[in-house]
Amino acid sequence: MEQIYTAIFFFVAFKLPNLFRRIFAEGAFTQVFIPAYAHSEHKSVFSANIFVLFLSIIVVITLLVNILPSLATQAIAVGFDEKTIAMAEPYVAINFWYLPLIFAVTFLSTMLQYKRHFATTAFSTALLNISLIAALYLSEDKSQNEIVYYLSYGVVIGGILQLISHLIAIHQLGLLKSFCGGFKYLKLKSYKIKNETKKFQKQFFPAIWGNSTPQVSAFLDTFLASFLVSGSISYLYYANRIFQLPLAIFAIATSIALFPSIARYIKNNDEAKALAYLKKAFWFLAFLLTASTIGGYMLSYEIIWLLFERGSFGANDTLESAAVLQMYMIGLLPLGLQKLFLLWLYANEQQMRAAKIATFSLLFYIVFALMLISPMGASGLALAGTIGGFVGFALTIKAFGVKNFFDIVVSKNALYLAAGSVLLTIVLLLFKDFIAVYI
């Protein structure tokens, strides 16, 4: 029991800074900063000003959490009693120092992305895990409370290691001198970037909301599933983890790699090259996501069975989770492609329009979730999310331009995609019959 509480304390302590990182730093900040940085006439001063502004806000929030850790802990773990909250407070305070560190990492990684350098950011994520593993190793013979302290400091040390790795990369690419020069002339030239800073701030808050809607949707999923039969929350969680894998590996990774180039071409009024890059990425994603959709839908039972059916996770749990996974997989293609076309809006600094699209998508999810939860259970919630994804994709294509979209889609690649989909379906049908003997 003590080990369970140890794990809970650590996950609770790490939850809030991690949530802030996902909404505030990585998503919204990158989407607004790269196009603003590309359009800026005083890049060094502009970047230094934005860094100081946001880091100051985050440090103030972090100090407030350390001064009043009980309020932050209560916000994360509503169901905890006073004694449990008091035990978790110090861990929350320590873990929150990860947020200013990871913001600095995100800021530097955004500058690296602008220079089309992605390796350091991809590698640095492992440094946090290495730090946590080292913390567990060093605390092997310690008490459970001490282990959580070690893990909490391991998070902070991991953030420091990530920051150091990005500073090294910035230096090697020759950006460090320019970045530091921005601080040197910040007071002297701050008036020159006044309008750019105001525009950035105006775009940032809609971007925060646009990036928050998936978190709101996930919260509503959990909330609504709590009214269903026991295990529904787990079915949604396990199925969504599998669904997120191809979405992250293919769609999100492609969008991150493509965004700086699209922003540069839009800034230079070279729309033709931007569309050419978008077209290549579209067909790359269309083939991969279609294959993932067909495979994930047809082999949903086999995937869940292979990964999870053991211990208390029984055959019925596999059936329920597989049904949820199928509903998620239907929406993989539109959700993945939407992330690609949203780049066009971000690069054109239309964050408000993107936020409105996210809002409409969320509203459709809520309506259909309430309609489908009774007849379909957890599968209905997953299908509602998929319907919201289709709505978001349709609205994004409208904003991008229907003509531009059909110029990309009308291609011989469409025939190859259709033929490949049929062939893959036949192969998977034969494969299902073969492995059914062993399940």
Angle, to 10 degrees, between the axis of helix 119-138 and the axis of helix 98-114? 160
pLDDT digits (tens, 9 = 90+) for 374-387: 999 999 999 999 99
Residue 133 vs residues 1, 127, 209: alpha-carbon distances, Å? 22, 10, 34
pLDDT digits (tens, 9 = 90+) for 278-321: 999 999 999 999 999 999 999 999 999 988 888 778 888 899 99
Map out the domains of the chain as residue ranges.
2-184, 208-435
Q: How far apart are CA 31 and CA 22, in angstroms?
A: 12
Asked if residues 263 and 348 have their Cβ atoms less than 8 Å apart, the reply is no
Q: How confident is the model at residue 225 (pLDDT cuts 50, 70, 90)?
A: confident
Residue 365 has pLDDT above 90, yes or no: yes
Mean pLDDT of 317-343: 93
Asked if residues 350 and 295 have their Cβ atoms less than 8 Å apart, the reply is no
Name the phi and psi angles at 304, rounded to 5.
-60, -45
Cα 397 off chain centre by: 21
Can you tell me which residue has the tokens 């990774």?
253
Report the pLDDT value the prediction gives residue 4, as an integer from 0 to 100. Answer: 46
Report the pLDDT value the prediction gives residue 2, as an integer from 0 to 100. Answer: 46
Report the pLDDT value the prediction gives residue 337, as an integer from 0 to 100. Answer: 94
